[in-house]
Structure 1
Amino acid sequence: MKNLSAAILLLLAAWAGVANAQQVKNLDESAIIIPYRIEINNLKTTVILFPATIKSVDRGSRNILAEKVGDAENALKIKADRLDQPESNLSVITADGKLYSFIVDCTERPAYQAVDLRKQQNHEQSEINFTNRQLNLPLIKAKCDEVLSRKHFMNEKVRAQKMELKIEGIYLDQGSMYFGMSVTNHSHIDYPVEFCSFFTRDRKKVKRMALQEQEEKPLYASCDSTRIIPGKSTRHLVFAFPQFTISDSKLLVIDLYEKNGDRKLSLAIDGKQLLKARAL
């Protein structure tokens, strides 16, 4: 009887092990964030400039010293406490919900002391989007300049807190889509731009949920390098995308965030507005 009970217990344990094994999932390659490699040492400070405000910093080792740069909330200073420390890692979360992962190497002669991740991402995105495409970056820039010169034919806009975001025209050329837009500051207070995001989102859902929205990443953004909308002024912008459409159940939502402020603009358009696009 004891042998039978022991056998049953073994079978149950084996069954539980199989059940647990079946619940384990392998990560898809698209879910894995590939880290950047950063070089630091104990005598020089390396500064990383992020596209958005830094919200959280996690160091793999206490020997990595990290802090924000004064009032520049999107800049991070990193340095090694000692030269002979082993390889470690660094993770940074920014205000736009993105996670940046770094492998940190300590070396006597770092190859650089400053990194602009916005330029790095623009370069990576250009390489991805222009692969197997007829258009290249100089042509995209030229098309954006042409959009700026075109007469406006759309007036989709949103106004809030004396700020106005408007779509003035959508254009198509060789599989690319161009959004001509403007931002008007009706107040006397300058509007420093934190970031601008484009998402296709389910009409029926108000809260942002990862499974119900998809980010549309631009090929190129033509905008003022200062990223500031002065008081009582208007800035014209052009965003270039691979051509896309959306279903009647979705909206394209454009969010514009103010740096060090709470003035946020959110403009939503439907698929019918996208279909009004004109040829360049």
Structure 2
Amino acid sequence: MKKINVMLMVCAVLITIGAFAQQSSKNSLSEITPDSLSIGYSKTTNIVFPYAIKSVDRGSADILVQKAKGLENIIQIKAAKMDFIPTNLTVVTADGKLYSFLLRYDEQNANLNLSMNTTEPFEQNVLFSVGIGNEQELQLYSKLALYDKSKIEGGKESRYGLKLHLNGIFIQNDIMYYRIVVANHSKIKYDVDQFRFFIRDSKKVKRTSSQEIEISPLYILNNYETIDEESENTFVFAVTKFTIPEKKYLVLQLMEKNGGRHLVIQVKNKKLVQVSVLPKL
């Protein structure tokens, strides 16, 4: 009787081990292949991610890593010493995705500017540091605003073979989305220095300065730095909801880098009432 019980126990153990081995084979790990990245000592490598960076881990103190100042989805990397031993870098973004990089030293052929937005490689998006809102929502609603057929009239300026046109204002979840088209009909490419939003007094009283209230965007879709000759780009700026006080107006100002082809649009409250509500996601 004792022999039978021992044999039964042995069989049970073997069955359990077999089941565990089978379950383990089903749940086997799959390796994430790291991207190879060359960095230098005297050059900075910039990497743009589609969502905000939540965690960064460097494999060695021989490399320097930081977030770009005021931005949530760009990191800057450079070597802390020349000819360092190859190491790794791990980045986790707000959408829960893990990025792995194998870093090697190569001063002459260092990678300089990279985008991890592999699904839409032609978009360059910048995510500013914000205390509210969700990064993914800002991106998705910006895209809805980009393709929405609703338009507003007016709000444009044309000079120097360039055209600056505010052709859509949208809102959802207390965030406003300004769709702005920049068309370059000239033979000279346009390098964007800055795109400013600010509220200004309608009239400047003598001996007093005109007060300007700067409005910082939460997110910019299609944030291209250059508008090529005979081409155009449509930006979408996401900003916290606001209205314009009496005797003031909103200024949209486009400044050219190392040039004088500056364009300005003035927007009053009557234009804001044309705002379109984006459908909820």
TM-score under structure 1 normalisation? 0.54
Change (3 A) 1:217 1:234: same
Which residue is 1:136 aligned to? 134
Runs of 5+ unmatched residues, structure 1: 1-43, 50-108
Which residue is 1:163 aligned to? 162
Which residue is 2:193 aligned to? 194
Which residue is 1:150 aligned to? 148
Which residue is 1:172 aligned to? 171
2:270 is aligned with 1:272? yes
Distance 1:195 1:206 in 2: 28
Offset of residue 113 of structure 1: 7.1
Offset of residue 278 of structure 1: 1.3
- State the identity %: 30
Offset of residue 152 of structure 1: 4.0
Offset of residue 153 of structure 1: 1.7
Offset of residue 274 of structure 1: 1.2
Distance 2:127 2:171 in 1: 23
Give the secondary structure class of the aligned counterpart of 1:145: helix
Which residue is 2:215 aligned to? 216
Change (3 A) 1:116 1:125: closer
8 A Cα contact 1:217 1:241, kept in partner: yes
What amino acid is the match of 1:166? H
Give the secondary structure class of the aligned counterpart of 1:119: coil
Instruction: Answer 1 or 2: which has greater helix percent.
Output: 1
Give the secondary structure class of the aligned counterpart of 1:188: coil
Alignment coverage as a number of residue pairs:
171
What amino acid is the match of 1:216? I
Distance 2:274 2:228 in 1: 31
Q: Which of 234, 240, 262 is the equivalent residue of 2:238?
A: 240
What amino acid is the match of 2:71? K
Runs of 5+ unmatched residues, structure 2: 1-40, 47-60, 74-125
Offset of residue 265 of structure 1: 0.7
2:123 is aligned with 1:119? no
Within-5 A mapping of 1:1-280 = 45=42, 112=64, 116-117=68-69, 119=71, 125-126=129-130, 128=131, 130=132, 135-155=133-153, 156-205=155-204, 212-224=211-223, 226-280=224-278
Offset of residue 195 of structure 1: 1.1
Provide Cα deviations, 1:157-182, integer angstroms capped at 9, x if missing partner.
01111111111110111111110110
Offset of residue 192 of structure 1: 1.1
TM-score under structure 2 normalisation? 0.54
Offset of residue 223 of structure 1: 1.6
Give the secondary structure class of the aligned counterpart of 2:71: helix
